[in-house]
Structure formats: structure tokens, C-alpha cells
Amino acid sequence: MEWRCLVCGRKFSGEEKPLACPACGVENDFIIPDSQYTRPSGRMSEISRASFKQALDLEVEATRLYHEAAAKAKNEGDEVTGIFFDALAKNEFGHQKAIKFQLGCRKKVE
Ligand SMILES: [Zn+2]
């Protein structure tokens, strides 16, 4: 069966609905059968667009910080902390993809 994430737009296959989106990590309340999916549309105000861009900047910075923290921990032999920060970085990267998806498919208010 094909599934689709409403937050990031990622399509993926699987017998069962996953517990979370494999791309952005959102919980499965936001995952639907792909056959029912319609791409987000409608207009996005400039204020909302600015909020998305501000959120994207935060996600990019958080991803960088978590990668750096993971590398530092691993350099010190703390593998558990390294894995923890790697997981957080992956999650933040998923958020980046979701925000870029929303910015890419919604029209500006003219
Ligand atoms: Zn997703």
C-alpha cells in the first residue's frame, strides 16, 4: 500500500501505516492512504511565509548544532550521546523538509 505524509508530502510504501513519517518524523495522525491525498493548496499570507522562513532558519541552526554535539560526543568516546544527537539532527532535518514543502506548494497572497 502507498502512504502519504500531509506535513512533508513524502510518499512511501508499506503494508501497515507507520507510527511516524519516515521523512519528517510527524506522528501517524498526519499519514493517509496516498489514494486520498491532495497536494496542499491555497494562499499563504506574507506573515505566514515569514513565520515559515523564521522556523526554517531555526531548524537549520538546530540541525547544525546537533551534528556538532554528536561529533563532539563521539570524539570523546560517548557513543550514546552521539547517537542521541544524531537522532535529533535527523528529526530537525525532517522538519526542514516539511517547511520547504509547505513553502513550495502554497501560493503567495498578491
Ligand atoms: Zn512527513
Cell numbers representing residue 45 in the block:
499570507
| Ligand 1 centroid to residue 12 C-alpha, Å | 10
Q: Is the dihedral of CA 18, 83, 94, 58 positive or negative?
A: positive
Q: Is the pLDDT of residue 39 over 90?
A: no
| Ligand 1 centroid to residue 75 C-alpha, Å | 32
| Ligand 1 centroid to residue 96 C-alpha, Å | 10
pLDDT at position 110: 59
| Ligand 1 centroid to residue 45 C-alpha, Å | 23
pTM assigned to the model: 0.79
- Domain boundaries of the chain, sorted by first residue: 2-33, 43-108
What pLDDT digit, counting tens, does each position of 48-101 carry? 999 999 999 999 999 999 999 999 999 999 999 999 999 999 989 989 988 998
Burial class (CB in 10 A: 0-12, 13-18, 19+), 95: buried
pLDDT band at 16 (very low <50, low <70, confident <90, very high): very high
| Ligand 1 centroid to residue 31 C-alpha, Å | 8
pLDDT at position 28: 93
Q: Is the pLDDT of residue 108 over 80?
A: no
Cell numbers representing residue 32 in the block:
493517509
Q: How many CA atoms lie within 13 A of 30 on its CB side?
A: 16
| Ligand 1 centroid to residue 1 C-alpha, Å | 17
